[in-house]
Structure 1
Amino acid sequence: MSVLGTLSIIASAVLVGTILQRLSGTGVGLVVAPVLSLLLGPAFGVLVTNMTTIVSGLLIMFAVWSRIDWRAYLLIAPAAAVGAWPGAWLVSVLPTGWLSVLLGTIVVLALLVTVTLRRLPEWKHRSAALVAGFIGGFFNTTSGVAAPVMVIYSRVSRWDQLRFSATLQPIFMTMGAASVVAKLTVGSVGEHAALDVPFIWLVIGIPATVIIGIGIATALVRFVPVSLARRLAMTLAALGGVAAITRGAIEILTTA
Protein backbone atom coordinates (compact mmCIF):
# COMPACT_ATOMS: atom_id res chain seq x y z
CA MET A 1 0.00 0.00 0.00
CA SER A 2 1.23 3.52 -0.80
CA VAL A 3 2.12 6.05 1.88
CA LEU A 4 -0.90 8.15 0.90
CA GLY A 5 -3.21 5.15 1.14
CA THR A 6 -1.90 4.14 4.56
CA LEU A 7 -2.18 7.68 5.90
CA SER A 8 -5.70 8.03 4.47
CA ILE A 9 -6.89 4.91 6.29
CA ILE A 10 -5.25 6.02 9.55
CA ALA A 11 -6.78 9.49 9.25
CA SER A 12 -10.22 8.03 8.49
CA ALA A 13 -10.06 5.76 11.55
CA VAL A 14 -8.96 8.60 13.81
CA LEU A 15 -11.63 10.91 12.39
CA VAL A 16 -14.46 8.40 12.85
CA GLY A 17 -13.22 7.39 16.30
CA THR A 18 -12.99 11.01 17.46
CA ILE A 19 -16.48 11.83 16.20
CA LEU A 20 -17.95 8.80 17.98
CA GLN A 21 -16.04 9.56 21.17
CA ARG A 22 -17.27 13.15 21.24
CA LEU A 23 -20.84 11.95 20.67
CA SER A 24 -20.92 8.98 23.06
CA GLY A 25 -17.85 9.20 25.29
CA THR A 26 -16.06 6.24 23.67
CA GLY A 27 -14.76 5.50 20.21
CA VAL A 28 -11.12 6.41 19.62
CA GLY A 29 -9.56 3.30 21.13
CA LEU A 30 -12.33 1.01 19.91
CA VAL A 31 -12.06 2.10 16.28
CA VAL A 32 -8.42 3.17 15.96
CA ALA A 33 -6.58 0.34 17.78
CA PRO A 34 -7.62 -2.54 15.48
CA VAL A 35 -7.04 -0.46 12.33
CA LEU A 36 -3.62 0.82 13.36
CA SER A 37 -2.52 -2.61 14.59
CA LEU A 38 -3.29 -4.05 11.14
CA LEU A 39 -1.43 -1.25 9.35
CA LEU A 40 1.50 -0.63 11.68
CA GLY A 41 1.84 -3.87 13.61
CA PRO A 42 0.20 -4.61 16.98
CA ALA A 43 2.85 -3.13 19.29
CA PHE A 44 3.47 0.09 17.37
CA GLY A 45 -0.17 0.41 16.30
CA VAL A 46 -1.41 0.31 19.90
CA LEU A 47 1.33 2.77 20.92
CA VAL A 48 0.11 5.26 18.30
CA THR A 49 -3.46 4.60 19.49
CA ASN A 50 -2.37 5.44 23.05
CA MET A 51 -0.84 8.67 21.78
CA THR A 52 -4.07 9.46 19.93
CA THR A 53 -6.17 9.00 23.07
CA ILE A 54 -3.96 11.50 24.90
CA VAL A 55 -4.81 14.14 22.30
CA SER A 56 -8.49 13.25 21.91
CA GLY A 57 -9.08 12.92 25.65
CA LEU A 58 -7.42 16.28 26.34
CA LEU A 59 -9.29 18.20 23.64
CA ILE A 60 -12.71 16.64 24.27
CA MET A 61 -12.21 17.13 28.03
CA PHE A 62 -12.39 20.90 27.60
CA ALA A 63 -15.73 20.60 25.80
CA VAL A 64 -17.31 18.59 28.65
CA TRP A 65 -15.42 20.11 31.60
CA SER A 66 -18.48 21.09 33.66
CA ARG A 67 -19.76 17.48 33.80
CA ILE A 68 -16.51 15.76 34.82
CA ASP A 69 -16.60 13.87 38.13
CA TRP A 70 -13.10 14.60 39.41
CA ARG A 71 -13.53 12.48 42.56
CA ALA A 72 -14.16 9.41 40.44
CA TYR A 73 -11.26 10.34 38.18
CA LEU A 74 -8.87 10.51 41.15
CA LEU A 75 -9.84 6.97 42.14
CA ILE A 76 -9.59 5.43 38.67
CA ALA A 77 -6.59 7.21 37.14
CA PRO A 78 -3.87 6.13 39.62
CA ALA A 79 -5.03 2.51 39.42
CA ALA A 80 -4.94 2.73 35.61
CA ALA A 81 -1.36 4.04 35.75
CA VAL A 82 -0.36 1.00 37.83
CA GLY A 83 -2.13 -1.40 35.46
CA ALA A 84 -0.17 -0.02 32.51
CA TRP A 85 3.12 -1.56 33.73
CA PRO A 86 2.24 -5.28 33.60
CA GLY A 87 0.56 -4.55 30.26
CA ALA A 88 3.77 -2.99 28.89
CA TRP A 89 5.79 -5.99 30.09
CA LEU A 90 3.40 -8.42 28.37
CA VAL A 91 3.64 -6.48 25.11
CA SER A 92 7.43 -6.67 25.31
CA VAL A 93 7.55 -10.47 25.58
CA LEU A 94 4.79 -11.58 23.17
CA PRO A 95 5.57 -12.24 19.48
CA THR A 96 3.61 -10.03 17.06
CA GLY A 97 1.29 -12.83 15.96
CA TRP A 98 0.22 -13.66 19.49
CA LEU A 99 -0.03 -9.96 20.29
CA SER A 100 -2.47 -9.49 17.40
CA VAL A 101 -4.55 -12.41 18.64
CA LEU A 102 -4.49 -10.99 22.19
CA LEU A 103 -5.56 -7.55 20.97
CA GLY A 104 -8.43 -8.89 18.89
CA THR A 105 -9.58 -11.28 21.60
CA ILE A 106 -9.67 -8.55 24.25
CA VAL A 107 -11.68 -6.32 21.93
CA VAL A 108 -14.20 -8.98 20.92
CA LEU A 109 -14.71 -10.54 24.36
CA ALA A 110 -14.99 -7.17 26.08
CA LEU A 111 -17.61 -6.08 23.56
CA LEU A 112 -19.55 -9.32 24.01
CA VAL A 113 -19.58 -8.87 27.78
CA THR A 114 -20.68 -5.25 27.41
CA VAL A 115 -23.54 -6.13 25.06
CA THR A 116 -24.84 -9.29 26.73
CA LEU A 117 -24.72 -8.29 30.40
CA ARG A 118 -27.60 -5.85 30.55
CA ARG A 119 -28.28 -5.87 34.28
CA LEU A 120 -25.26 -6.16 36.54
CA PRO A 121 -25.19 -6.31 40.35
CA GLU A 122 -24.62 -3.03 42.13
CA TRP A 123 -21.05 -2.34 43.30
CA LYS A 124 -20.56 1.27 44.37
CA HIS A 125 -17.62 0.75 46.75
CA ARG A 126 -14.39 2.56 45.87
CA SER A 127 -12.75 -0.84 45.36
CA ALA A 128 -14.81 -1.19 42.17
CA ALA A 129 -13.22 1.98 40.79
CA LEU A 130 -9.73 0.71 41.67
CA VAL A 131 -10.34 -2.66 40.01
CA ALA A 132 -11.82 -1.02 36.91
CA GLY A 133 -8.92 1.42 36.72
CA PHE A 134 -6.27 -1.30 36.99
CA ILE A 135 -7.90 -3.60 34.42
CA GLY A 136 -8.64 -0.65 32.14
CA GLY A 137 -5.01 0.47 32.30
CA PHE A 138 -3.82 -3.06 31.54
CA PHE A 139 -6.21 -3.47 28.60
CA ASN A 140 -5.39 0.00 27.28
CA THR A 141 -1.69 -0.80 27.23
CA THR A 142 -2.00 -4.23 25.64
CA SER A 143 -4.82 -3.54 23.17
CA GLY A 144 -5.56 0.20 23.19
CA VAL A 145 -9.11 -0.57 24.27
CA ALA A 146 -10.31 0.29 27.79
CA ALA A 147 -13.82 1.54 27.00
CA PRO A 148 -15.68 -1.78 27.56
CA VAL A 149 -14.12 -2.11 31.03
CA MET A 150 -15.22 1.38 31.93
CA VAL A 151 -18.71 0.80 30.53
CA ILE A 152 -19.08 -2.28 32.74
CA TYR A 153 -17.89 -0.26 35.74
CA SER A 154 -20.40 2.49 34.97
CA ARG A 155 -23.18 -0.09 35.05
CA VAL A 156 -22.22 -1.75 38.33
CA SER A 157 -21.67 1.64 39.99
CA ARG A 158 -24.87 3.11 38.49
CA TRP A 159 -22.87 6.09 37.20
CA ASP A 160 -24.90 8.83 35.53
CA GLN A 161 -24.34 8.59 31.76
CA LEU A 162 -23.56 12.26 31.13
CA ARG A 163 -21.04 12.50 33.97
CA PHE A 164 -19.59 9.13 33.04
CA SER A 165 -18.98 9.99 29.38
CA ALA A 166 -17.44 13.32 30.38
CA THR A 167 -15.17 11.81 33.04
CA LEU A 168 -13.95 9.20 30.57
CA GLN A 169 -12.05 11.90 28.68
CA PRO A 170 -9.43 12.72 31.34
CA ILE A 171 -9.36 9.01 32.23
CA PHE A 172 -8.55 8.04 28.64
CA MET A 173 -5.98 10.84 28.45
CA THR A 174 -4.26 9.56 31.60
CA MET A 175 -4.42 5.93 30.47
CA GLY A 176 -2.84 6.87 27.16
CA ALA A 177 -0.03 8.80 28.83
CA ALA A 178 0.62 6.01 31.34
CA SER A 179 0.73 3.41 28.57
CA VAL A 180 3.19 5.44 26.47
CA VAL A 181 5.50 6.07 29.45
CA ALA A 182 5.39 2.41 30.54
CA LYS A 183 6.10 1.13 27.02
CA LEU A 184 8.98 3.53 26.41
CA THR A 185 10.47 2.60 29.78
CA VAL A 186 10.07 -1.16 29.36
CA GLY A 187 11.10 -1.04 25.71
CA SER A 188 7.95 -2.56 24.25
CA VAL A 189 7.39 0.03 21.51
CA GLY A 190 7.88 -2.44 18.69
CA GLU A 191 8.48 -1.80 15.01
CA HIS A 192 5.70 -0.77 12.67
CA ALA A 193 5.00 -2.57 9.44
CA ALA A 194 4.52 0.54 7.33
CA LEU A 195 8.16 1.65 7.50
CA ASP A 196 7.64 4.07 4.62
CA VAL A 197 5.29 6.20 6.73
CA PRO A 198 7.34 8.99 8.37
CA PHE A 199 6.56 9.11 12.09
CA ILE A 200 6.47 12.92 12.01
CA TRP A 201 3.46 12.70 9.70
CA LEU A 202 1.61 10.78 12.38
CA VAL A 203 2.66 13.24 15.08
CA ILE A 204 1.33 16.19 13.08
CA GLY A 205 -1.57 14.54 11.27
CA ILE A 206 -3.28 12.77 14.17
CA PRO A 207 -3.83 15.88 16.37
CA ALA A 208 -5.06 17.81 13.32
CA THR A 209 -7.50 15.01 12.49
CA VAL A 210 -8.73 14.89 16.09
CA ILE A 211 -9.46 18.62 16.01
CA ILE A 212 -11.41 18.24 12.77
CA GLY A 213 -13.34 15.30 14.23
CA ILE A 214 -14.31 17.26 17.34
CA GLY A 215 -15.55 20.09 15.13
CA ILE A 216 -17.69 17.74 13.05
CA ALA A 217 -19.06 15.97 16.13
CA THR A 218 -19.95 19.27 17.79
CA ALA A 219 -22.14 20.06 14.80
CA LEU A 220 -23.73 16.59 14.92
CA VAL A 221 -24.27 16.29 18.67
CA ARG A 222 -27.86 17.56 18.50
CA PHE A 223 -28.85 15.19 15.73
CA VAL A 224 -27.11 11.86 16.46
CA PRO A 225 -28.35 9.82 19.44
CA VAL A 226 -25.71 8.62 21.89
CA SER A 227 -26.98 5.05 21.55
CA LEU A 228 -26.48 5.09 17.78
CA ALA A 229 -22.93 6.43 18.07
CA ARG A 230 -22.06 3.79 20.68
CA ARG A 231 -23.50 0.94 18.58
CA LEU A 232 -21.53 2.08 15.55
CA ALA A 233 -18.31 2.29 17.56
CA MET A 234 -18.81 -1.22 18.92
CA THR A 235 -19.65 -2.64 15.49
CA LEU A 236 -16.51 -1.18 13.94
CA ALA A 237 -14.45 -2.37 16.90
CA ALA A 238 -15.81 -5.91 16.57
CA LEU A 239 -14.92 -6.04 12.87
CA GLY A 240 -11.44 -4.74 13.61
CA GLY A 241 -11.01 -7.22 16.46
CA VAL A 242 -11.91 -10.17 14.25
CA ALA A 243 -9.50 -8.92 11.59
CA ALA A 244 -6.71 -8.66 14.17
CA ILE A 245 -7.35 -12.22 15.37
CA THR A 246 -7.31 -13.47 11.78
CA ARG A 247 -4.06 -11.69 10.99
CA GLY A 248 -2.39 -12.95 14.14
CA ALA A 249 -3.54 -16.52 13.56
CA ILE A 250 -2.22 -16.47 10.00
CA GLU A 251 1.15 -15.13 11.19
CA ILE A 252 1.40 -17.79 13.92
CA LEU A 253 0.58 -20.60 11.47
CA THR A 254 2.95 -19.39 8.75
CA THR A 255 5.89 -18.99 11.16
CA ALA A 256 5.32 -22.24 13.06
Structure 2
Amino acid sequence: MLIFSAISVVLGSISQRVAGLGFALLVAPVFVLTFGPYDGVVLINYAGTLSSVVVLMRLWKDVNWRTYLALGPPAALAIIPTSYVVVNFQGPGLQIAIGLIVIAGLTLVLSRPKVTKQITPRWWVTMVAGGAAGVTSATAGVGAPPMGIYAAATGWPQREFAATLQPVFITTGATSFLTKVSFAGGLPSFHWSIWVGVLVLSAVGLSLGEVVKNLISGNTARTIAFALCYLGATMATIDGLLQYFFTTGTALPG
Protein backbone atom coordinates (compact mmCIF):
# COMPACT_ATOMS: atom_id res chain seq x y z
CA MET A 1 0.00 0.00 0.00
CA LEU A 2 2.96 2.35 0.47
CA ILE A 3 3.53 2.32 -3.29
CA PHE A 4 -0.12 3.21 -3.95
CA SER A 5 0.16 5.97 -1.33
CA ALA A 6 3.22 7.39 -3.07
CA ILE A 7 1.46 7.34 -6.44
CA SER A 8 -1.63 9.01 -4.96
CA VAL A 9 0.50 11.85 -3.54
CA VAL A 10 2.07 12.54 -6.93
CA LEU A 11 -1.27 12.36 -8.79
CA GLY A 12 -3.00 14.43 -6.13
CA SER A 13 -0.32 17.11 -6.31
CA ILE A 14 -0.65 17.25 -10.10
CA SER A 15 -4.42 17.67 -9.77
CA GLN A 16 -3.98 20.33 -7.09
CA ARG A 17 -1.78 22.39 -9.41
CA VAL A 18 -3.97 21.92 -12.50
CA ALA A 19 -7.48 22.15 -11.01
CA GLY A 20 -6.89 23.83 -7.65
CA LEU A 21 -8.14 20.76 -5.80
CA GLY A 22 -7.66 17.00 -5.81
CA PHE A 23 -4.78 16.39 -3.43
CA ALA A 24 -6.84 15.36 -0.44
CA LEU A 25 -9.52 13.76 -2.62
CA LEU A 26 -7.01 11.38 -4.18
CA VAL A 27 -4.82 10.84 -1.14
CA ALA A 28 -7.41 10.51 1.65
CA PRO A 29 -8.88 7.07 0.83
CA VAL A 30 -5.44 5.55 0.14
CA PHE A 31 -3.86 7.01 3.28
CA VAL A 32 -6.78 5.79 5.38
CA LEU A 33 -6.20 2.26 4.09
CA THR A 34 -2.41 2.49 4.50
CA PHE A 35 -1.97 4.32 7.80
CA GLY A 36 -5.38 4.02 9.47
CA PRO A 37 -8.33 6.42 9.70
CA TYR A 38 -6.78 8.75 12.28
CA ASP A 39 -3.07 8.76 11.44
CA GLY A 40 -3.85 8.84 7.72
CA VAL A 41 -6.04 11.94 8.01
CA VAL A 42 -3.47 13.74 10.18
CA LEU A 43 -0.87 13.07 7.49
CA ILE A 44 -3.27 14.36 4.84
CA ASN A 45 -3.85 17.57 6.82
CA TYR A 46 -0.09 18.08 7.05
CA ALA A 47 0.70 17.35 3.41
CA GLY A 48 -2.36 19.08 2.00
CA THR A 49 -1.57 22.28 3.87
CA LEU A 50 1.95 22.47 2.46
CA SER A 51 0.74 21.58 -1.04
CA SER A 52 -1.79 24.42 -0.96
CA VAL A 53 0.88 26.85 0.24
CA VAL A 54 2.92 26.13 -2.89
CA VAL A 55 -0.08 26.39 -5.22
CA LEU A 56 -1.21 29.62 -3.52
CA MET A 57 2.07 31.28 -4.46
CA ARG A 58 1.20 30.59 -8.11
CA LEU A 59 -2.45 31.68 -7.91
CA TRP A 60 -2.17 34.54 -5.42
CA LYS A 61 -3.41 37.27 -7.78
CA ASP A 62 -6.70 35.46 -8.44
CA VAL A 63 -7.68 34.92 -4.79
CA ASN A 64 -10.91 36.57 -3.63
CA TRP A 65 -9.83 37.44 -0.11
CA ARG A 66 -13.23 38.78 0.86
CA THR A 67 -14.82 35.40 0.14
CA TYR A 68 -11.96 33.64 1.93
CA LEU A 69 -12.58 35.74 5.06
CA ALA A 70 -16.22 34.60 4.99
CA LEU A 71 -15.23 30.92 4.59
CA GLY A 72 -12.02 30.52 6.59
CA PRO A 73 -12.98 31.56 10.15
CA PRO A 74 -16.19 29.43 10.28
CA ALA A 75 -14.16 26.49 8.96
CA ALA A 76 -11.53 26.93 11.67
CA LEU A 77 -14.15 27.22 14.42
CA ALA A 78 -15.98 24.08 13.25
CA ILE A 79 -12.73 22.11 13.23
CA ILE A 80 -12.00 22.51 16.95
CA PRO A 81 -14.87 20.40 18.37
CA THR A 82 -14.76 18.04 15.38
CA SER A 83 -11.06 17.30 15.98
CA TYR A 84 -11.78 16.53 19.61
CA VAL A 85 -14.41 13.97 18.59
CA VAL A 86 -12.12 12.43 15.96
CA VAL A 87 -9.22 12.03 18.42
CA ASN A 88 -11.51 10.23 20.87
CA PHE A 89 -13.37 8.15 18.30
CA GLN A 90 -10.95 6.01 16.33
CA GLY A 91 -11.16 2.59 14.74
CA PRO A 92 -13.23 0.99 11.96
CA GLY A 93 -16.20 3.24 12.70
CA LEU A 94 -14.14 6.32 11.87
CA GLN A 95 -12.87 4.73 8.67
CA ILE A 96 -16.42 3.90 7.57
CA ALA A 97 -17.52 7.45 8.39
CA ILE A 98 -14.65 8.90 6.34
CA GLY A 99 -15.50 6.76 3.31
CA LEU A 100 -19.19 7.62 3.47
CA ILE A 101 -18.52 11.35 3.96
CA VAL A 102 -16.30 11.44 0.87
CA ILE A 103 -18.74 9.43 -1.26
CA ALA A 104 -21.76 11.49 -0.15
CA GLY A 105 -19.91 14.77 -0.65
CA LEU A 106 -18.76 13.93 -4.15
CA THR A 107 -22.21 12.66 -5.11
CA LEU A 108 -23.76 15.94 -4.01
CA VAL A 109 -21.15 17.93 -5.95
CA LEU A 110 -21.73 15.99 -9.16
CA SER A 111 -25.53 15.80 -8.90
CA ARG A 112 -26.13 19.47 -8.20
CA PRO A 113 -26.67 21.51 -11.39
CA LYS A 114 -24.15 24.30 -11.80
CA VAL A 115 -25.50 27.85 -11.81
CA THR A 116 -24.39 29.48 -15.05
CA LYS A 117 -24.65 33.04 -13.75
CA GLN A 118 -22.69 34.07 -10.68
CA ILE A 119 -24.86 35.07 -7.74
CA THR A 120 -24.02 36.59 -4.36
CA PRO A 121 -25.17 34.19 -1.62
CA ARG A 122 -26.49 35.27 1.76
CA TRP A 123 -23.76 35.63 4.39
CA TRP A 124 -24.98 32.67 6.40
CA VAL A 125 -24.82 30.37 3.35
CA THR A 126 -21.13 31.15 2.97
CA MET A 127 -20.53 30.60 6.69
CA VAL A 128 -22.31 27.23 6.59
CA ALA A 129 -20.22 26.19 3.58
CA GLY A 130 -17.05 27.14 5.43
CA GLY A 131 -18.14 25.29 8.55
CA ALA A 132 -18.99 22.19 6.52
CA ALA A 133 -15.55 22.29 4.89
CA GLY A 134 -14.02 22.46 8.36
CA VAL A 135 -15.98 19.44 9.58
CA THR A 136 -15.09 17.29 6.56
CA SER A 137 -11.45 18.38 6.70
CA ALA A 138 -11.12 17.43 10.35
CA THR A 139 -13.02 14.17 9.89
CA ALA A 140 -11.89 12.90 6.50
CA GLY A 141 -9.09 15.25 5.47
CA VAL A 142 -11.10 16.67 2.55
CA GLY A 143 -12.67 20.11 2.38
CA ALA A 144 -13.33 20.07 -1.37
CA PRO A 145 -16.88 18.55 -1.47
CA PRO A 146 -18.59 21.37 0.51
CA MET A 147 -16.60 23.93 -1.47
CA GLY A 148 -17.63 22.25 -4.73
CA ILE A 149 -21.29 22.37 -3.76
CA TYR A 150 -20.95 26.03 -2.79
CA ALA A 151 -19.21 26.87 -6.08
CA ALA A 152 -21.87 25.08 -8.14
CA ALA A 153 -24.70 26.80 -6.26
CA THR A 154 -23.24 30.28 -6.61
CA GLY A 155 -21.76 30.05 -10.11
CA TRP A 156 -18.28 30.77 -8.74
CA PRO A 157 -15.87 31.21 -11.72
CA GLN A 158 -13.35 28.36 -11.92
CA ARG A 159 -10.22 30.53 -11.95
CA GLU A 160 -11.15 32.49 -8.83
CA PHE A 161 -12.58 29.35 -7.19
CA ALA A 162 -9.34 27.39 -7.67
CA ALA A 163 -7.25 30.25 -6.32
CA THR A 164 -9.43 31.02 -3.29
CA LEU A 165 -9.56 27.36 -2.33
CA GLN A 166 -5.85 27.45 -1.49
CA PRO A 167 -6.02 29.72 1.59
CA VAL A 168 -9.21 27.91 2.62
CA PHE A 169 -7.39 24.56 2.44
CA ILE A 170 -4.38 26.01 4.28
CA THR A 171 -6.69 27.16 7.07
CA THR A 172 -8.61 23.88 7.31
CA GLY A 173 -5.52 21.68 6.95
CA ALA A 174 -3.35 23.55 9.44
CA THR A 175 -6.14 23.95 12.00
CA SER A 176 -7.11 20.28 11.70
CA PHE A 177 -3.49 19.16 12.08
CA LEU A 178 -2.70 21.40 15.06
CA THR A 179 -5.92 20.74 16.98
CA LYS A 180 -5.70 16.97 16.57
CA VAL A 181 -2.05 16.86 17.59
CA SER A 182 -2.91 19.04 20.59
CA PHE A 183 -5.89 16.91 21.68
CA ALA A 184 -3.96 13.67 21.10
CA GLY A 185 -0.92 14.90 23.02
CA GLY A 186 1.56 14.37 20.19
CA LEU A 187 2.23 13.46 16.59
CA PRO A 188 1.40 10.06 15.06
CA SER A 189 4.36 7.72 15.41
CA PHE A 190 5.46 7.74 11.78
CA HIS A 191 9.08 7.16 10.84
CA TRP A 192 10.68 10.46 9.85
CA SER A 193 10.99 9.18 6.28
CA ILE A 194 7.18 9.23 5.91
CA TRP A 195 6.96 12.93 6.78
CA VAL A 196 9.84 13.80 4.46
CA GLY A 197 8.75 11.42 1.71
CA VAL A 198 5.31 12.99 1.46
CA LEU A 199 6.92 16.42 1.00
CA VAL A 200 9.31 15.18 -1.68
CA LEU A 201 6.57 13.38 -3.60
CA SER A 202 4.33 16.45 -3.34
CA ALA A 203 7.10 18.58 -4.80
CA VAL A 204 7.52 16.11 -7.67
CA GLY A 205 3.78 16.13 -8.37
CA LEU A 206 3.53 19.92 -8.28
CA SER A 207 6.48 20.19 -10.67
CA LEU A 208 4.82 17.73 -13.05
CA GLY A 209 1.62 19.72 -12.68
CA GLU A 210 3.35 22.74 -14.19
CA VAL A 211 3.77 20.71 -17.38
CA VAL A 212 0.45 18.87 -17.27
CA LYS A 213 -1.60 22.08 -16.85
CA ASN A 214 -0.69 22.96 -20.43
CA LEU A 215 -1.93 19.59 -21.69
CA ILE A 216 -5.25 19.05 -19.91
CA SER A 217 -7.92 21.39 -18.56
CA GLY A 218 -8.77 21.94 -14.94
CA ASN A 219 -12.19 20.35 -15.51
CA THR A 220 -10.58 17.18 -16.89
CA ALA A 221 -8.16 16.96 -13.97
CA ARG A 222 -11.03 17.46 -11.53
CA THR A 223 -13.12 14.74 -13.21
CA ILE A 224 -10.24 12.26 -12.99
CA ALA A 225 -9.66 13.16 -9.34
CA PHE A 226 -13.35 12.65 -8.52
CA ALA A 227 -13.45 9.26 -10.27
CA LEU A 228 -10.35 7.97 -8.50
CA CYS A 229 -11.60 9.35 -5.19
CA TYR A 230 -14.89 7.48 -5.59
CA LEU A 231 -12.97 4.25 -6.10
CA GLY A 232 -10.68 4.86 -3.15
CA ALA A 233 -13.48 5.93 -0.82
CA THR A 234 -15.51 2.84 -1.73
CA MET A 235 -12.52 0.60 -0.98
CA ALA A 236 -11.90 2.36 2.34
CA THR A 237 -15.57 1.97 3.33
CA ILE A 238 -15.64 -1.72 2.46
CA ASP A 239 -12.36 -2.31 4.32
CA GLY A 240 -13.75 -0.49 7.38
CA LEU A 241 -16.92 -2.58 7.30
CA LEU A 242 -14.91 -5.80 7.09
CA GLN A 243 -12.74 -4.70 10.02
CA TYR A 244 -15.82 -3.81 12.02
CA PHE A 245 -17.59 -7.12 11.52
CA PHE A 246 -14.47 -9.22 12.03
CA THR A 247 -13.19 -7.34 15.10
CA THR A 248 -16.56 -6.98 16.84
CA GLY A 249 -17.95 -10.32 15.81
CA THR A 250 -21.11 -8.64 14.58
CA ALA A 251 -22.96 -10.77 12.07
CA LEU A 252 -24.57 -9.43 8.96
CA PRO A 253 -28.38 -9.51 9.13
CA GLY A 254 -30.10 -12.48 7.58
Q: Same fold (TM over 0.5)?
A: yes
The structure 2 residue matched to 1:13, chosen from 8, 12, 17, is: 8
Quickly say closer, same or farther: Cα 1:202–1:191, change in 2 above 3 A: closer
Q: Does 1:64 align with 2:56?
A: no
The structure 1 residue matched to 2:233, chosen from 234, 241, 244, is: 241
Q: Corresponding residue for 2:194?
A: 202
Q: How does 1:123-162 map to 2 (within 5 A)?
A: 124-162=121-159
In 1, are the aligned partners of 2:119 and 2:155 still within 8 Å (CA)?
Answer: yes
Distance in structure 1 (CA, Å) of the matches to 2:152 and 2:205: 28
SS at match of 2:21: coil
Q: Corresponding residue for 1:27?
A: 22
Unaligned 5+ runs, structure 2:
249-254
Q: Corresponding residue for 1:75?
A: 70
SS at match of 2:155: coil
Q: How does 1:35-114 map to 2 (within 5 A)?
A: 35-114=30-109
Distance in structure 1 (CA, Å) of the matches to 2:242 and 2:121: 43
Q: Shift in Å at residue 191 of structure 1?
A: 5.8
Q: Shift in Å at residue 69 of structure 1?
A: 0.8
Quickly say closer, same or farther: Cα 1:140–1:80, change in 2 above 3 A: same
Unaligned 5+ runs, structure 1:
193-197
In 2, are the aligned partners of 1:91 and 1:188 still within 8 Å (CA)?
Answer: no
Q: Shift in Å at residue 122 of structure 1?
A: 5.8
The structure 2 residue matched to 1:253, chosen from 245, 248, 251, is: 245
Q: Shift in Å at residue 187 of structure 1?
A: 1.5
Distance in structure 2 (CA, Å) of the matches to 1:184 and 1:154: 31
Distance in structure 1 (CA, Å) of the matches to 2:173 and 2:191: 18
Distance in structure 1 (CA, Å) of the matches to 2:101 and 2:157: 26
Q: Corresponding residue for 1:195?
A: none
Q: Corresponding residue for 1:177?
A: 174
1:194-245 per-position Cα deviation (integer Å, ceiling 9, x unaligned): xxxx531122111222121111111111210222111110011101111111
User: Aligned residue pairs: how many?
Assistant: 246
Q: Corresponding residue for 1:117?
A: 112
Distance in structure 1 (CA, Å) of the matches to 2:188 and 2:240: 16
In 2, are the aligned partners of 1:67 and 1:166 still within 8 Å (CA)?
Answer: yes
Report the more deviating stretch, 22-31 or 182-191.
182-191
TM-score scaled by length of structure 1 = 0.91
The ranges of structure 1 where at least 4 consecutive aligned residues each deviate by more than 6 angstroms after the TM superposition are: none
In 1, are the aligned partners of 2:17 and 2:55 still within 8 Å (CA)?
Answer: yes
TM-score scaled by length of structure 2 = 0.91
Quickly say closer, same or farther: Cα 1:188–1:236, change in 2 above 3 A: farther
Name the Cα RMSD after superposition.
Answer: 1.9
Distance in structure 2 (CA, Å) of the matches to 1:122 and 1:62: 27
Quickly say closer, same or farther: Cα 1:80–1:135, change in 2 above 3 A: same
SS at match of 2:178: helix
In 2, are the aligned partners of 1:43 and 1:190 still within 8 Å (CA)?
Answer: no
In 2, are the aligned partners of 1:124 and 1:158 still within 8 Å (CA)?
Answer: no
Q: Corresponding residue for 1:165?
A: 162
